[in-house]
Amino acid sequence: MVRTLEQAIAQISRLPDADQEKIGQKLLSHVEKLNTLRGEIDKGISSLDAGKGSALNIEDFLREKNSRHGGA
């Protein structure tokens, strides 16, 4: 375990149980999201490595995304 995480856990261990539980739940949720994102990135890289990618016009992409979400 890295030093920063050890320090954080040491400080958290001095908090009331209810606070520790909330922090633990949030941390686990964050880690799960990171693992999911990493999995999706790995799938995308594998897809690109397999030649399944296509050219992307970034200006068109951003324009489309902004128009869907009310952006400029």
Residue 9 located in a structural domain? no
Residue 2 located in a structural domain? no
Which residue range forms the structural domain that includes residue 56?
A: 24-72
Q: Please report the pLDDT score of residue 46 as a whole number.
A: 96
The predicted model gives 10-37 an average pLDDT of: 98
Residue 48 located in a structural domain? yes
Residue 41 located in a structural domain? yes
Residue 16's pLDDT band (boundaries 50, 70, 90)? very high
Residue 35 located in a structural domain? yes
**What's the distance, Cα to Cα, between the start and end of the chain in Å?**
44
Tokens of 29: 């949720």
Residue 1's pLDDT band (boundaries 50, 70, 90)? confident
Residue 1 located in a structural domain? no
33-67 pLDDT, tens digit each: 999 999 999 999 999 999 999 888 999 999 998 99
Residue 16 located in a structural domain? no
Total domains present in the chain: 1
